[in-house]
């Protein structure tokens, strides 16, 4: 089993966990969202059609096991008031590898590949140089 390495960075007064796996960095979106309100922001970000298209393109480029058909279903529903998508549901349904949902008090939260985390940071606050 590949070893994981945890580190932290400090951005605008907020500690943000970084999980390194297989030479890739995953940034804690949960920590990033704390400064701006909380986990609900992650769910709002994932409901956005533009976000889903970005996530889908990233997965298609980086994940040979990505389930494109399920992605298309989500994309059609994105933006509707009745559409709700959690990171866990995204991963389980599409076999996504760019986002991880982890349980637990210490080290738990939603983590995203650094490419996706930078996109989330821009969405959170495009003018604050948060990313």
Query: How confident is the model over 54-61, as a mean pLDDT?
Result: 96
Q: How confident is the model at residue 63 (pLDDT cuts 50, 70, 90)?
A: very high
pLDDT at residue 66, as a whole number: 97
CA distances from 17 to 32, 47, 78, 108 (A): 9, 24, 29, 10
Least confident segment among 49-58, 63-72, 103-112: 103-112
Q: Where are the domains of the chain?
A: 5-124
Proportion of the chain above pLDDT 90, given as a percent: 62
Please write the tens of the pLDDT for every residue from 5-39: 887 888 777 889 999 988 899 999 999 999 888 88
Contacts 24+ apart (CB under 8 A), 64-67: 65/95, 65/97, 66/94, 66/95, 66/96, 66/97, 67/93, 67/94, 67/95
Whether 130 shows a pLDDT value over 70: the answer reads no
pLDDT at residue 128, as a whole number: 55
């Amino acid at each position: 089993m590949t070893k994981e390495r945890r580190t932290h960075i400090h951005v605008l007064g907020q500690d943000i966990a970084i999980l390194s796996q297989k030479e890739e960095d995953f940034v804690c979106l949960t920590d990033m969202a704390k400064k701006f309100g909380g986990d609900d922001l992650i769910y709002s970000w994932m409901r956005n059609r533009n976000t889903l298209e970005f996530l889908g393109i990233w997965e298609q480029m980086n994940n040979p096991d990505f389930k494109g058909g399920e992605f298309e279903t989500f994309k059609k529903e994105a933006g509707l008031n009745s559409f709700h998508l959690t990171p866990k549901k995204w991963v389980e349904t599409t076999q996504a590898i760019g986002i991880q949902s982890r349980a637990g008090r210490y080290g738990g939260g939603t983590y995203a590949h650094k490419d996706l985390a930078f996109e989330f940071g821009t969405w959170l606050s495009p003018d604050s140089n948060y990313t």
